[in-house]
Amino acid sequence: MPSPSRSRAGRRAGPALFAAAAAVAGLVLAGLPATASQAADQESCRPDGLYRTPGVDVPYCSAYDADGREKMGADHPRRVIGYFTGWRTGKDGKPAYLASDIPWDKVTHINYAFAHVDGAHKLSVGSDTAANPATGMTWPGVEGAEMDPGLPYKGHFNLLNKFKKQHPDVKTMISVGGWAETGGYFADDGTRVDSGGFYSMATNADGSVNQAGIDTFADSAVDFVRTYGFNGVDIDYEYPTTMKDAGNPLDWSFANGRRAGLVKGYAALMKTLREKLDRAGAADGKHYLLSVAAPSSGYLLRGMETFQVQKYLDYVNIMSYDLHGAWNEYVGPNASLFDDGKDAELAAANVYGSQQYGGIGYLNTDWAYHYFRGSMPAGRINIGLPYYTRGHKNVQGGTDGLWGKAAASTCPAGSGLTKCGDGAVGIDNLWHDKDDNGKESPAGSNPMWHAKNLEKGIVGDYVTRYGFPADTRLTGTYARKYDSTLVAPWLWNAEKKVFLSTEDEQSVAAKADYVVDRGIGGTMVWELAGDYGWNAAKGQYETGDTLTSLMYGKFKSASPYGAKVSNAPLPDKAVDIGVEFGEFKLGDSNYPITPKVKITNNTKTALPGGTEFRFDYSTAAPGNASDQSGFGTKVISSDHTGSNVGGLKGDFHRVSLKLPAWQTLAPGASVELSFNYYLPVSTPWNWTVDIAGTTYALAGNLARGTTVVEPGSGTGPTPGPTGPTPDPTGPTPTPGACAPPAWSAASAYGGGSTVSHKGHSWKSKWWTKGEEPGSTGEWGVWQDLGAC
């Protein structure tokens, strides 16, 4: 499966076809000590599942309400996050997109793309010169682009803050990285510096965490948001995954040797950023946001373990696009909402025929949303929409090109590929990048306003600014097609055999309804400059806000988003029992996915043998998780079974596992089991444990409103919502009445046979003879079913 990201057009994009793409903010408030009641009040606003920085009274209520939902203005119950790129300045003769072009009343957050990690591991946008788009450039004579003279810098940052004064509910984030600047950065002269970027800042060459580099970066990030008036930091690290050759080929020399440590470095980076932003926020009297642009690719996520960073994030923005494109020959939608069971790329990999995969197609927005929903409230997740196209030429087969093939004879220089797809070019590739030889990279990449003109047979007057003659004529007809199962439109030119995957009012309306109906936090778009509007005077589509306004209209009267991780009430008493997933295999050796699950008893009470734990994991993976460690791991309920054609119908599988009957877990002790599943999941969540007939939550859920207690201490924790947890294997046998026949040393027993011996029932895992129950240990043939 490809490892695409998002389109990266313009100078900062580089060869990105295969993107598998202080004073200013106001006076700093004195850090006054908080009273206990103030701290309690702030905790009441903390979002469910968000990490608490120890010893810091984080001012959550500056950004969140008493239900832990983000405050974004009365008409914005859901997010509309737009990426605003720094390179569309108009200085190159192509259409500009400036802060004055942003539909400020329709968006909730603006992510400025991009800052980078410089050679000293600091957050930077380059030298502070008059040519710097972020801090120095000006646009004399351009209406709306007049500088605010009260700010000590110019450029995009000046304009963003000027308009924020007029729209105080809109938040701005500095986005760091991107496809082209994850492992390096562009110097002031436009050349790329291969510095290692995130890869070397967060992870040392031996795979260990580079905490010194992380601290330097995080300190610089705090200074940066204070200096330039940002509300937080958005990390676009592409990608901290163990999958070999993932990300930009220019970065492989740094990334591939560090693969084993990238996930740990990523987690350390996000934890450090969270804590340093929280400390700064406590001093400044405002909560600073932290978000990431996360991949939607099941291939990339398989190498990101269980995505252990979500607890540090205010929200995650899913890059649920670039799901198909010219990095391979399979012709399909850029960003379909659902699977249709016919994805040619998945079919070629036998995903639909694999019983272990459960027929689940994982190249669609709905799958990616459910992956993150397994460990986050719906309201802390935003789905991504592309305001650009992807496309192929010379498409063979398929239905109007859909699920056809288009293989290329050669691949762009620097792409790192030896086999790729035949991407559309020329008038069908307006927003193209260039390869290492300076040639056009075939991709079918266009702003959506250009795609609308193609659909209507219009040659816009802007084409001359992209190097086309004024008398350019279109060949063939670009017929709009739509698949309601996928929720995906495209343009099909039968004469040219060109397929361009698009978005328009119909698909965006359906995705907005999906967000509203499921309580999702909102949407994120790459990038704002691709939206369209109709210019009646010129008779053509140009940059506008049609799609963004449509989402705003859908969201402004929506109900509040989902603010809880669990769909069912959890116990309000929690115990300190730690659960950690680790020892993941690397790269293509990680199928099936078999991490070790380590359970650590941090309470002062010993857990008896048979203690039951329950947890949820996402329906993005089939309900066939198991273990081979004698813990009896089993899926006891599922919100979804079968394929995911048309969407997954629920969020969670509920799992039960028990300490082996013979094994107690003393205070401070740990036990491990081997967990087994087949499609990637984010960190299993909503844990409970039954101790002496009382159900507790686990402190690691970070749930709102829970109190951490010692089992059985004080007034006693309250039982779970349904009382003590029943045993899914059946009723507990009456003591002294062992129903199974007594074990005999002379008898042979097949797998699954049940016997009684020394007051316990035992079940054989495989054929055995002469091995006494109770003598074979946890890994042996006999599983202890408990006293009888």
Q: Domain segments of the chain: what residues?
A: 11-38+73-555, 573-708, 748-787
User: 344-353: long-range contacts (C-beta < 8 A, 24 or more apart)?
Assistant: 344/398, 344/403, 344/404, 344/405, 345/1, 349/1, 352/643
- Which pLDDT does position 732 carry in this prediction? 31
pLDDT at 776 over 80: no
What is the SS3 string spanning 384-412?
A: EEECECEEECCCECCECCECCECECCCCC
CB 263 within 8 A of CB 304: yes
CB atoms within 10 A of CB 146: 15
- Which pLDDT does position 731 carry in this prediction? 31
Q: Integer distance in angstroms from the first to the last C-alpha of the chain?
A: 51
- Which pLDDT does position 38 carry in this prediction? 60
Q: What is the C-alpha to C-alpha distance for residues 304 and 316, in angstroms, rounded to an integer?
A: 15
pLDDT at 643 over 70: yes
Position with higher pLDDT, 248 vs 721: 248
- Which pLDDT does position 774 carry in this prediction? 84
Q: How many alpha carbons fall within 13 Å on the CB side of residue 527?
A: 28
pLDDT band with cut points at 50, 70 and 90 for residue 648: very high
Please give the backbone phi and psi of residue 454, each rounded to the nearest 5 degrees, phi first: -60, -45
Of the candidates 371, 334, 428, the one whose C-alpha atom is nearest the C-alpha of residue 21 is 334
- Which pLDDT does position 33 carry in this prediction? 41
Structure tokens at 731: 């009723």
- Which pLDDT does position 63 carry in this prediction? 98
- Which pLDDT does position 618 carry in this prediction? 98
- Which pLDDT does position 334 carry in this prediction? 98
- Give mean pLDDT, residues 107-131: 98
11-38+73-555 in CATH: which number?
3.20.20.80
Asked which of 11-20, 313-322, 343-352, 761-770 is least confident by mean pLDDT, the reply is 11-20
pLDDT at 680 over 60: yes
DSSP 8-class letter at 418: S
- Which pLDDT does position 30 carry in this prediction? 31
pLDDT at 734 over 50: no
- Which pLDDT does position 756 carry in this prediction? 85
pLDDT digits (tens, 9 = 90+) for 36-92: 556 668 999 999 999 999 999 999 999 999 999 999 999 999 999 999 999 999 999
Percent of residues, the chain, with pLDDT higher than 90: 84
Q: What is the C-alpha to C-alpha distance for residues 208 and 200, in angstroms, rounded to an integer?
A: 10
If you average pLDDT over every residue of the chain, what do you get? 91
- Which pLDDT does position 750 carry in this prediction? 62
- Which pLDDT does position 780 carry in this prediction? 67
Helix (H, G, I), strand (E, B) or coil at 175: strand
Q: What is the C-alpha to C-alpha distance for residues 200 and 758, in angstroms, rounded to an integer?
A: 58
pLDDT digits (tens, 9 = 90+) for 472-517: 999 999 999 999 999 999 999 999 999 999 999 999 999 999 999 9
Q: Cα angle at 52 between 602 and 170, to 5 degrees?
A: 160
Q: Cα angle at 182 between 181 and 186, to 5 degrees?
A: 20
pLDDT digits (tens, 9 = 90+) for 304-327: 999 999 999 999 999 999 999 999
pLDDT digits (tens, 9 = 90+) for 143-161: 999 999 999 999 999 999 9
- Which pLDDT does position 769 carry in this prediction? 78
- Give mean pLDDT, residues 554-581: 97
pLDDT at 395 over 50: yes
Beta strands in 246-288 (DSSP E): none
Position with higher pLDDT, 599 vs 727: 599
pLDDT band with cut points at 50, 70 and 90 for residue 26: very low
Which residues contact residue 469 at a Cβ distance below 8 angstroms, ignoring those fewer than 6 apart? none
pLDDT digits (tens, 9 = 90+) for 577-614: 999 999 999 988 998 999 999 999 999 999 999 999 99
Structure tokens at 332: 């399909």
Q: Which amino acid is at 385?
A: L
Helix (H, G, I), strand (E, B) or coil at 200: helix
- Give mean pLDDT, residues 403-410: 97
Q: Tokens 């702030």 label which residue?
A: 42
- Which pLDDT does position 743 carry in this prediction? 81
CA dihedral sign, ordered 413, 416, 420, 423: negative
Q: Model pTM?
A: 0.88
CATH C-level class of 748-787: mainly beta
Which residues contact residue 40 at a Cβ distance below 8 angstroms, ignoring those fewer than 6 apart? none
- Which pLDDT does position 339 carry in this prediction? 98
- Give mean pLDDT, residues 547-568: 98
Q: Would you identify the CATH topology of the domain 573-708?
A: Immunoglobulin-like (2.60.40)
Pairing of strands 185-186, 192-193: antiparallel
pLDDT at 721 over 60: no
Q: What is the C-alpha to C-alpha distance for residues 500 and 478, in angstroms, rounded to an integer?
A: 9
pLDDT digits (tens, 9 = 90+) for 87-106: 999 999 999 999 999 999 99
Helix (H, G, I), strand (E, B) or coil at 619: coil
pLDDT at 720 over 70: no
